[in-house]
A and B are shown apart, each in its own frame.
Chain A
Amino acid sequence: MTVDRTAAAAAPPVKNTAAPAAPRRRRNWAPAFFLLPFFIPFILFTLVPVGYAFYQSLLKTERTGGTFGRKTTVFAGFEQYKEVLGDPEFLGSVGRVVLFGLVQIPLMLLLALTLALLLDSTVARLKRFFRIAYFVPYGIPGVIAALMWAFLYDPRLSPVVELLDQVGSAPDFLGSSMMLWSIGNIVTWTYTGYNMLIIYAALQAVPGDIYEAARMDGASEAKIAWRIKIPILRPALMLTGVFSIIGTLQLFTEPQVLRSISTSVTSTYTPNLAAYSLASSDNYSEAAAMSVTLALATFVLSFGFLKFTGRKAES
């Protein structure tokens, strides 16, 4: 941060007797020049759409004069929100992603944390190879990851199903009872390495002599991990936690791709799919209300998560 700027501003007059006030005046336009190129598109393509979605969500389309009458758009207040919050399919989709998040996020972050700790420890071998191997899936676009796994789930094509069938019997990965966890597997596969890297990078930033001192005091590797490393990792874990929550509530790509090969994924499988389906049937107002509800929920959950984990840190 730049609290010391005042000190710096006070310094020039001493050294620079020629034009003491000049730097300050010259600097006034500079922040604006640096900020505007970002803020103009930020306002146009982020803030305005948010505002517009909200505005759109307060409208509704009515037909005057029967089914074939003219369509008019009228102000409807929060009517669309009542519609959205009373829609069992939408609520079902929210419940589905919440269940997904409660199971998948802890599993994925636990795996990422374990991998990062092992790669940072002295017990593992071939660490460089493993680090690169784990990061490969993140480089594969979500659509293509989902396409690949769709094949690996398909009993007619999949060598994995074939192998599992030889051992015992493979579950029906594309059936409605397994589908959510099949998607969970794709997400875990894609993002574990990325999360691991964030955690690992935070570990690497810790000076090694802390561990040295702990080892001299006779602490075991496991104890060092538990007592020193994990507390240090709190900010990194919070960051990965928030990104995972946002990603989960916004699930779209994977279910949308699997929809083309399995009927288990309905058009309202996740909240985002539901909004997309509504918009493709031209019901923009209700779709907007869904998007706004979802964005608000995301906001509240990620803020709540930060507050919750932050409070636990203090106590």
Chain B
Amino acid sequence: MSLLTDTAGAHAPAPASKTASRGPRESRLSVAVATGFLAVIAVYMLLPVFWLIVSATKSQGDLVDTFGLWFSDMHLIDNLRALFAKQDGVFVPWLLNSLLYAGAGAAVGTLLSAMAGYALAKYRFRGREFLFSVVLGGVLVPATALALPLFLLFAKVGATNTFWAVFLPSIVSPFGVYLSRIFAAASVPDELLEAARIDGSGELRTFFTMAVRLMSPAMVTIFLFQFVVIWNNFLLPLVMLQDDRLYPVTLGLFTWQSQVSRDPSLQILSLTGSLVSVVPIVITFLVLQRYWKAGLAAGAVKS
């Protein structure tokens, strides 16, 4: 709860310096109530993360015996060493797998979505609206509903328990096509395409040199969105993969957690592993947040 009092104190000098310049006449009371409410919610959002950070620095014994929201003996280095050594260092391939499934999957998926969205926005051809409706229908088909039939289909061709079984279904993003179409329609002017054509630029070159540049804010959004979706996808790898060397980090940590009763040391390891696996994605997010917001606005306003 210290955050609450900190921020309540922190905004006190603000009215003097800021409200004067910002104009509208809010009372000190409404500023305090509003900011206080925001602070309480911030505590709610950040407390579990803080707890995770604290826990990852403890030994298994202290995890149970000491108060969870404050540090005791520093054990982080030992935990990390144990984490990377467990099961012949399987945690490293887990992390790399996640990065590969989510990073490469989102990159390929974004490119495919951008191309399809661009075509749906910028060319007139028969069946265009029909194709777009099918894509929109695809947005409403939940990924979890596809996992079981996908497993049966991959089993028919003997491709379950492979990298491709998780990767290939992940590159399909109907929502990305939807966002691309809206964004291409809004941000790529027809006059520009016409001009490029007159100058003799081929359709492909026009797309890859001009349209992609104009659509790049939307493409960042689609990339991030798809990255999170793949990173979070749990059911698909759960049904597809048996070989733990192919697991993404989330599935790996889940299997550790479900074995805690057999091997209690896995408890602190799955906590430390959770923290390690969260750090890169949170950093990526904070860095790319600006672009992400800009693209989302297009999707939300036009829907």
In the complex, are the beta carbons of A33 and B204 less than 8 A apart?
yes
Let me know if B122 and A235 touch, CB within 8 A: no
Pair A124/B282 contact, Cβ less than 8 Å: no
Contact between chains at B49 and A140 (CB < 8 Å): yes
Q: Does chain B have a CB within 8 A of A30?
A: yes
Which of B31, B116, B121 lies in contact with A39, CB distance below 8 A? Answer: B116
Question: Which residues 116-172 in A have Cβ within 8 Å of B in the complex?
Answer: 118-119, 121-126, 129-130, 132-145, 147-152, 156-160, 162
Residue in B122, B169, B235 whose CB lies within 8 Å of A45: B169
Chain B: CB-nearest residue to A140: B278
Q: Give the residues in chain A near B67, CB-CB below 8 Å.
A: 159, 162
Task: Please tell me if the beta carbons of B191 and A8 are within 8 angstroms of each other in the complex.
Answer: yes
Nearest CB of B to A302, in Å:
6
Shortest beta-carbon distance, B52 to chain A, in Å?
6
A144 and B300 form a contact (CB under 8 A) = no
Contact status B232-A30, CB under 8 Å: no
The answer, yes or no, to whether B130 is at the interface (CB within 8 Å) is no
B234 touches A201 (CB 8 A): no
Query: Which of B44, B285, B300 neighbours the largest number of chain A CB atoms within 10 Å of its CB?
Result: B300
Distance between Cα atoms of A130 and B146 in the complex (Å): 37
A30 touching B258, Cβ below 8 Å: no
The answer to whether A42 and B172 touch (CB under 8 A), given A53-B148, A111-B41, is yes
Contact of B20 with A by CB under 8 A = no
* Cα of A41 to Cα of B109 in the assembled complex, Å: 10
Indicate if the CB atoms of A56 and B146 lie closer than 8 Å.
no
Whole-angstrom distance between the alpha carbons of A251 and B142 in the complex? 11
Q: Which residues of B contact A26 (CB under 8 A)?
A: 202-203
Q: When each residue 267-303 of chain B gets 1 if its CB lies under 8 Å from chain A and 0 otherwise, what string results? A: 0001100100110011011100100111011011111
A8 touches B190 (CB 8 A): yes
| Residues of chain A within 8 A of B118, CB atoms compared | 34
A77 at the interface (CB under 8 A from B): no
Contact A2 B46 (CB under 8 A): no
- Quick check: is B74 within 8 A (CB to CB) of the other chain? no
Identify B30's interface contact among A48, A123, A142, CB under 8 A. Answer: A123
Taking CB atoms, residues of chain B closer than 8 Å to A198 are 296, 299-300
Chain A residues with Cβ below 8 Å from B260 are 260
A136 cross-chain contacts in B, Cβ below 8 A: 45-46, 49, 282, 285
Q: In whole angstroms, how far apart are the Cα atoms of A135 and B51 in the complex?
A: 17
Cβ-defined partner of A50 (8 Å) among B37, B149, B197, B285: B149
Binding site for A on B (CB under 8 A): 7, 10-11, 14, 18, 22-24, 26, 30-31, 34-35, 37-39, 41-42, 44-46, 48-49, 51-52, 55, 63-64, 67-69, 111-113, 115-116, 118-125, 128, 131, 134-135, 137-138, 140-142, 144-146, 148-153, 168-169, 171-172, 174, 177, 185, 190-191, 193-194, 197-198, 202-204, 207, 228, 231-232, 234-235, 239, 250-251, 253-254, 257-258, 260, 270-271, 274, 277-278, 281-282, 284-286, 289, 292-294, 296-297, 299-303
| 13 contacting pairs across A/B (C-beta < 8 A) | A41-B172, A42-B138, A126-B10, A126-B35, A130-B42, A147-B257, A157-B64, A198-B300, A250-B144, A252-B144, A276-B148, A294-B142, A299-B140
Q: Report which A residues bind B (CB closer than 8 A).
A: 1-2, 4-6, 8, 11-12, 15-16, 23, 26-27, 30-31, 33-35, 37-39, 41-42, 44-50, 52-53, 56, 111, 114-115, 118-119, 121-126, 129-130, 132-145, 147-152, 156-160, 162, 189, 192-193, 197-202, 204-205, 215, 221, 235-236, 238-239, 242, 246, 249-250, 252-253, 256-257, 260, 272, 275-276, 279, 284, 287-288, 291-292, 294-295, 298-299, 302-303
